[in-house]
Structure 1
Amino acid sequence: MVLGVLLVLSTVVVFWQTDLRVNANQSYLSVARPVPAGQVIADADLRVVRVANASGLALVPADQRSQVVGRTTATPLAAGSLLTSEQVGPAAWPPSGEAVIALPVKPGRAPVGLAPGARVIVLVVPPPTAGQPVPPPDNNAAPSGTSGVQRAIATLVSAEAGEDQVDSQLVTLLLAADAAEAIASATGDVSLVHLGPEG
């Protein structure tokens, strides 16, 4: 009985080591630099990495590099991420019912270190008129249709250094299409509030 258990264990160990050696030699494509959705993939956008265990992932093998270069991205590609087959093809960005907008954010009006994928509340505060206080924010989930602070929940796509002011940012946001139109057309200063994960 002991010999049988040892035989089973030795078989498992040999299989595991063999599987690791095989998988460790498998090369896949990774994203070398950010690539927007709908853009043609260039050879410089890709690099080859080794993945120890890619089971269950739809990764693109390195030997298919020539089949990927020249095609378009279906979604934005983040630098350092592994390329999957679903990310290559006709543009599917932004998703149906959603829109992407870009907004300038002045220094001090967004938390430091916001990373792509962060959920944020977007507030657009209109400039005060002479002799009148700044109106309070609208607490509804959707942007208000009346004068006042416009509010919406969005996902941060990217944040780049702004050109108008030191430490300002130009943020790209993904949000509901109707909210995007209201926020993009609002006049005033933009502020971002970082939300925790949903759940």
Structure 2
Amino acid sequence: MSVTTDRPRAANTSAADLPPSPTGTRRPGRRSGRRVVAGVLLVLATVVTFWQVDLRRHIDEQFLAVARDVPAGQVITDADLRVAWVANPSGLALVPAQESGGIVGRTATVPLVAGSLLVSAQVGPVAWPAEGEAVIAVPVAPGRAPTSLTAGSRVVVLVAPAGGGGQLAPQQDDGVRRAVATVVSVTAGADQVGTQLVTVLLAADAAEAVASAAGDVSLVQLGPSQ
């Protein structure tokens, strides 16, 4: 008896016999990258939306602006004012447009320049100078005042005795030789080349003492917080 043994033959597997691979297979790295891009776009969209909402909230805020030049001390009229739209007025003491009724009829404490926004500190009482204040003009020789003086600058007015070699005389009483003032205007003097005629606003008693004192006037400019 003969026994025949059948050995399994190696399968001749071809690519056509393999099961098809799932369609649309994505690599993990590509999917993660798309998620990152989507997250960045979402953040940018949130920032842009917040900015637009904040801009729309402030864009309709109306404030008063100066329509034409107004000298210091002049009464402010309707024609001197106009309405301006300010997107973000934070940190500025601007005057809202609806308060124009309380501004008209009052005076400008400093010269107002056309096109500038009106700040509450630039508006004074109905009468100017106010009660207890006075305005005087002092001649200042060359070299006795900073060249940066402009309307609105705060200064110390010092009066030195005539012939004293530029040394200040001791104060005889409060305010006689020294007074803090606000510059109203600065013009060129007519007596000497380089001389300035500076108009200042200060307390009435100090103004009388300075105006009656004989001697050379010097002006010391102060910082905004002094």
Q: TM-score, normalised by structure 2?
A: 0.59
Consecutive unaligned residues in structure 2, runs of 5 or more: 1-40
Deviation at 1:180, TM superposition (A): 0.9
Match of 2:158 in 1: 123
CA RMSD across the alignment: 4.1
**1:178–1:77 CA distance, 2 compared to 1 (3 A):** same
Contact 1:104 1:162 in 2 (8 A): yes
User: Does structure 1 residue 142 correspond to structure 2 residue 142?
Assistant: no
Residues 78-109 of structure 1, C-alpha deviations (whole Å, 9 max, x = no match): 32542257866852543553322221222222
One-letter amino acid of the counterpart of residue 50, structure 1: W
- Distance across 2 between alignment mates of 1:83 and 1:190: 33
Once the two structures are aligned, what percentage of the paired residues are identical?
53
User: Does structure 1 residue 167 correspond to structure 2 residue 203?
Assistant: no
Deviation at 1:135, TM superposition (A): 8.3
User: Does structure 1 residue 35 correspond to structure 2 residue 71?
Assistant: yes
Contact 1:107 1:169 in 2 (8 A): yes
Deviation at 1:70, TM superposition (A): 6.8
User: Does structure 1 residue 185 correspond to structure 2 residue 212?
Assistant: yes
Q: 1:14 aligns with which of 45, 49, 57?
A: 49
Deviation at 1:20, TM superposition (A): 0.7
Contact 2:152 2:184 in 1 (8 A): yes
Match of 1:156 in 2: 183
One-letter amino acid of the counterpart of residue 152, structure 1: A
Q: TM-score, normalised by structure 1?
A: 0.65
Match of 1:52 in 2: 87
Query: The residue matched to 1:164 in structure 2 has which SS?
Result: coil
State which structure, 1 or 2, has the greater radius of gyration over its C-alpha atoms. Answer: 2
Specify which structure has the bigger relative contact order, considering alpha-carbon pairs within 8 angstroms and separated by 6 or more residues.
Answer: 1
One-letter amino acid of the counterpart of residue 83, structure 1: L
- Distance across 2 between alignment mates of 1:172 and 1:76: 11
